[in-house]
Structure 1
């Protein structure tokens, strides 16, 4: 009887170990998913006028994860701040807006930096669409004020 108890407890531990191993493997699959490609992009204009000072991109990978990225042409000066926003339309998260500062994002572009990314959103719902938005803010002593905004086309 003691042998049966040891055998069952060992089998139980093995099953728990197998379940524990499956979960990180699935997480790793989503953490590293090849095939990221830009599906829509737009230039970022300072004060809403050309020339462009950077690009905002809506990106998708092979695991159906979407995110927004902004990349400025030059490092930001001390009075500037830029962020990308991912807007989701349709599905259970209709109207959800995530920024580079949202949990899982890389943080807004600040002094001396050039790029940031929003958290990745997985969507298998074919009716869901996304838009990437870039906003630039300047602070000359009175707090940050939005000076420009541009967006990509709404797409899947």
Structure 2
């Protein structure tokens, strides 16, 4: 019985070690590229009128990675959805737009949530600029209608 206990506890430790070593690529990336900070931001207004309901931010880290992030002031109700979009201008990907729902993003903000971010785009091309855009939608049963949009200044 003692041998069985030692065997099970050793197996448990081995499993824990495996879990600890299996870090998501995003966590490794964030650890190696610290210093994420907003370089431009704007408030989100419903129907383009104050008060603000959240913020859209253009973010950059120390590895020259850019992304858009939206942070709502309160959790969204069941009839609402919000997403951030990263718009790239200039360079080889001129006109590219990525959303929170794009591969590598965190998914749009839906009921009970407050934040999302787009995939990160690495760019050291000085001719490339970025803008973060936020769009808010509502659906009372007849489909999604856009009720607000705002954007940050275009910047590098």
TM bucket, shorter chain:
0.7 to 0.9
Q: How does 1:75-86 map to 2 (within 5 A)?
A: 75-86=75-86
Q: How does 1:1-156 map to 2 (within 5 A)?
A: 30-32=29-31, 33-156=33-156
Aligned-partner Cα distance in 2 for 1:131–1:74 = 24
Aligned-partner Cα distance in 2 for 1:143–1:119 = 26
Superposed structure 1 runs of 4+ greater than 4 Å apart: none
Encode CA deviations 1:21-71: one digit per residue, 9 max, x unaligned.
xxxxxx976443100110000000012110000000000000000000000
In structure 1, the residue corresponding to 2:130 is in which secondary structure?
Answer: strand
| TM-score, reference length from structure 1 | 0.81
The 3 A distance-change label for structure 1 pair 126 and 48 is: same
Larger radius of gyration: 1
Which runs of no fewer than 5 residues in structure 2 stay unpaired? 1-25
- For the aligned residues, what is the CA RMSD? 1.5
Contact 1:30 1:63 in 2 (8 A): no
In structure 1, the residue corresponding to 2:34 is in which secondary structure?
Answer: coil
| TM-score, reference length from structure 2 | 0.81
The 3 A distance-change label for structure 1 pair 140 and 55 is: same
